[in-house]
Structures are given as C-alpha cells and as structure tokens.
Amino acid sequence: MTETVLSLDHVSYTVDDLSIIKDMSGTIEQGKITAFVGPSGAGKSTLFRLLNQLKTHTKGTITFNKEDVLTIDPMMLRKKIGIVLQEGVMTPGTVYDNLALPRQLHDQTLSEEEALSFLDKVGLEARFLKTKAKELSGGQKQKVSIARTLVNQPDILLMDEITSSLDQVSTQAIETLIKKVNKDDHQTILWITHNIDQAKRLSDNTWVLIDGECRYQGPTDKLNEATDQTVIDFLEGGDES
Amino acid sequence: MTYFTLSLTLLFVLIPLLLAYFLKLGIEKDILVATVRSVIQLLIVGYLLQFIFDQDSPIFMILMVGLIIFAATHNARQKGVNYKGITWKLILTYVTIEVLTQAILIGLNITPATPQYVIPISGMVVGNAMVLSILFLNRLTSEVEDKQSEIELILSLGGSTKQAIHRQLITSIKASTVPTIEKQKTMGLVQLPGMMSGQIIAGADPIQAVQFQLLILFILLTTAILTSIMLGFLSYPTLFTEQMQLKQTFK
C-alpha cells in the first residue's frame, strides 16, 4: 500500500476577505508524481506556498509525515518540502554558486564533484558549472533551479509551472528530467501545469483546482471519467490559461 | 549683523521671486513659504539657544537635544510606515548615536560639556542620522519590493530571514552611506563646509575652523555607518512573520 506523505484537512487560505483556497482536503502519495491543473487564479501556486509554509493557511490542517506543518521549524520544513519557483530565479554568481547556496545557508559546503553530479542529474554539461547564472537560457535556469532544490535532498519536490515560459524542446527536456528524478530516486513530485496533455503524459495522480476548490482528485488515467461539470468544462477547454 | 543689514539680504529672496513670477514657474508661493518658515524657525531657535546658554543648566540642554531627536524621529518615521515600531527603532538609533558621540567628545575632553558645543553638534549628528535613515528606509523598501523573488528563494531553500534579506540590507546600507562618504572625498575641493565657512566669516582662525570641521566630518562618518547598520538590524525582522514569511505588505 502506498504511504501518504502529505495530507490536507479542510484547508482554507483567506486574505483580506478574499478566499483563495477553500476548504481543501486530500492526500499525496509517496513516490508519485501528482499534477495540479486548473485555470489561472485557481489557487495552485498559493497551495504550493502553503505546503512548504511560504504562506500560512488560515483554516484547517496540513500534515507532513503525520506531523502538523505548523509545529515544524519552517527552515527544516522547507528543506524537506523543496519548491522550484516559476521564474527560475538565480542569485548573482555562477551556476556553482547557485548550487552551493542551499548548503551555504546551513554552513556546509558543496564539493565541485557533488555539484557536477547534480548538474549531470538535470542533464546539464560540466562546462556550465562556472558559467554566470544570468547568462543561462530559460530552460537551463529551470534545470539549475531543480538541481539547486535537489541539493537539499527534499522528501517532496514542488514545481510551480516551471515549463510555462519554455519552448517545446526545453519543455520536453524538463519532462524527461522529472520522470528520471521520480524513477531513479523514487522522488515524490508535485507540479503545477496549465497543460492537461502534459499532466496526462507525466503524472500518476491529478488534482483539478477551480476557483480555489479541488474539484477532482485521483488517478490521472481516470480524469476523463470525472463527473463534476466544472472539471468537464475545464478539460474540454484544453490548455486554458 | 544688524537687523537692517539682515533685511537687505531679502534681495536674495526677491531675485528668485521675480524670476519665478515673470517666467511663470509657479513656485512663488513655495519660495515665500520657505522664506517665512526659515526666518521664523531660525529666529525661534536663536532665541531659544540664547535662553539655554543664559541658564547654563544641563536640564535645558538635555531638553533641547530631546527636542532635536523628537523632530528628527517625527520626520523620518513617515518613510518607515511599513516597519512595525519604526518610531521606537528610530529613537533608539538616534539616542545611541547621540550618547556615543557625546561620550567620546566629552569623555576624551575633545569638546566641553556646555550647551554651546553639545547642542550644535547634536543638531548636526541627529540631522545627518535623520537623512541617512530616510535614505536607508527608502532604499530597503524598494530593494525588498524589487527582489522579493530572491528573498523568497532563500527562504524556500531553508534559509533564515537574516540570510534571506542579507543582500538587500548590505545594498541599502551601502547606498545610504555613499553620499556621506563621497561628500567627504571632495570636501574642501568642491565646497567649503557650512560650519567652517561660518566660523571663518565670524573671524575664527581658518586652521582652527578646519580642525573643528574635520571633527564633525569624522563624527558624521560614524553616524552614517552606525545609523544604517543599527536601523537595518532593528528593522529587518519586522518584514517577516513568525513563520519566516515575507509579510504581505511587501508583496
């Protein structure tokens, strides 16, 4: 039986009387890829920020390995639930500086050999190690972002629409990478995408978020059997953004 | 200088006023308000200082320094509305700088503990600290607004709030202290400092005037660095929640 690593119990998030996440419940299984799809403004990115406590939910409970996330030290939690942010943000310096950052934050070092193995994991050649991070292409930045998050060896990897601004070749490369990381390391991956076909290609499970509510949650291959009319409308709408 | 002579200096107000009027610059009212305010404020300060000097009492001297700190805080706090408790943080910064400066000056017998020395030096020190804190708060606010994804990145990788804001703090400290340091580099070449010029005009020995000016410059250098660093370390925690998240006001 698959183990639950993350669960949400009636979670809501409200800011200035605006409900962004509404009474959301569900579970995430260990070692699976779970896609989060839905139109813009559905609350997908906010949900990810709640999961690793870059924001705090206003109602309900989020548990990570059966422990309430609010009782876990935020610095520790964010190491365990790593997030790759949408913009592929790079800090000033080289690719190595970016890869070493997670270790530096905890007064540790990253050897060049380790850095190269992380680059290799995300399919970047060794020559990129000393390249200035700002000189990388969008796809390369996203790959370095993924590698940088993996340096922390997170139990869960959250990826926030990391392919939305990439071309087809880069998108395919990232998709292959996600599959590889999931297969090789049995890494639990949650990722946001606008693209339903992409979700179908890659994920074991899918959550469909519409207007802050989770309207479908289950195996991706049964997505077409969804009975909720808003989900059917969204699926028919295709690559809505 | 007699009041008649002083009144003749109003010609220097009349020139920009006439130019503004004929060129329709629309700043005539501002010129008049600035002139009237500066005359009233400086005359009040002049009589107040005369009164304090006549009393020769440390209580009036301390009250005057307190008034300077209050006025500086009132002015600077408007730039720090996003920072919780900014009023007390500014007061603490100004008081620390003032106490440190006077402790060195009086403690090492560099200047006497009389109102004639303490009050003008306090005015310069706190005034400089006020300008520095406004520059610092403005820069830190815009840095946090512009670089929030970088700040969130470090938080998301398990960094502390101090690590997350470190780069923005350093940039803001550097940016706010640059004018003081740069001004000091060209001092005497581009302009003669106001206090030194005043002393020379009043008949003081130029070398002695330079010595006093150097004293003030060195104090202002300490003030600049100390204000930014102290205010930075007092302010940055208020940008984050207890759960180490960047507060919504900066998003």
| ipTM, 2 dp | 0.90
Residue B117 has pLDDT above 70, yes or no: yes
Chosen for mutation from A89, A99, A190 (greatest number of chain B CBs closer than 10 Å) is: A89
Reference B152, options B246, B19, B77; nearest CA is B246
The rounded Cα A86 to chain-centroid distance in angstroms is 9
Size of interface A-B (CB pairs under 8 A): 59
Note the pLDDT of residue B197.
80
- What pLDDT digit, counting tens, does each position of A1-46 carry? 679 999 999 999 999 889 999 999 999 999 999 999 998 889 999 9
Q: How many angstroms separate the CA of residue A223 from the nearest CA in chain B?
A: 31
Q: How many angstroms separate the CA of residue B176 from the nearest CA in chain A?
A: 22
- What pLDDT digit, counting tens, does each position of B157-215 carry? 999 999 999 999 999 999 999 988 888 888 777 767 777 788 888 888 888 888 888 88
Are residues B135 and B178 in contact, defined by beta-carbon separation less than 8 angstroms? no
Q: How many other C-beta atoms can be found within 10 angstroms of the C-beta atom of residue A142?
A: 28
Q: How many angstroms separate the CA of residue A219 from the nearest CA in chain B?
A: 29
Give the type of residue at B2: T
The residues, ordered by sequence, that sit 6+ positions from B39 with a Cβ below 8 Å of its Cβ are none
Q: What is the 3-state secondary structure (H, E, C) of chain A?
A: CCCEEEEEEEEEEEECCEEEEEEEEEEEECCCEEEEECCCCCCHHHHHHHHCCCCCCCEEEEEECCEEHHHCCHHHHHHHEEEECCCCCCCCCEHHHHHHHHHHCCCCCCCHHHHHHHHHHCCCCHHHHHCEHHHCCHHHHHHHHHHHHHHCCCCEEEEECCCCCCCHHHHHHHHHHHHHHHHHHCCEEEEECCCHHHHHHHCCEEEEEECCEEEEEEEHHHHHHCCCHHHHHHHHHCCCC
Chosen for mutation from B146, B157, B160 (greatest number of chain A CBs closer than 10 Å) is: B157
Residue A240 has pLDDT above 50, yes or no: no
Task: Please report, to the nearest 10 degrees, the dihedral formed by the alpha carbons of residues A186, A140, A170, A83 taken in order.
Answer: 40
The residues, ordered by sequence, that sit 6+ positions from A180 with a Cβ below 8 Å of its Cβ are A121
Structure tokens at B33: 């308000």
Which positions in chain A touch B245 (Cβ < 8 Å)?
Answer: 53-56, 74
| B157 with A102: Cβ contact below 8 A | yes
How many residues are listed for chain B in this entry?
A: 251
The residues, ordered by sequence, that sit 6+ positions from A37 with a Cβ below 8 Å of its Cβ are A44, A192, A193, A194, A195, A196, A199, A206, A207, A208, A209, A234
Q: How many other C-beta atoms can be found within 10 angstroms of the C-beta atom of residue B94?
A: 27
Q: Is A123 exposed, middle or buried (0-12, 13-18, 19+ CB in 10 A)?
A: middle
- What pLDDT digit, counting tens, does each position of B4-45 carry? 888 888 899 999 999 999 999 999 999 999 999 999 999 998
Position of tokens 């479908």? A216
Give the type of residue at B112: P
- What pLDDT digit, counting tens, does each position of A152-202 carry? 999 999 999 888 777 788 788 888 888 988 998 889 999 998 888 889 999
Q: Whole-angstrom Cα distance, residue B240 to residue B251?
A: 12
Q: How many angstroms separate the CA of residue B170 from the nearest CA in chain A?
A: 14
Q: Provide the whole-model pTM.
A: 0.83
Give the type of residue at B46: G
| B248 with A15: Cβ contact below 8 A | yes
Q: Which residues pair with A192 in a beta bridge?
A: A36, A160
| A87 with B152: Cβ contact below 8 A | no
Note the pLDDT of residue B2.
81
Question: Given B149, B158, B241, which is nearest A89 (Cβ)?
Answer: B149
Mean pLDDT of A106-120: 94
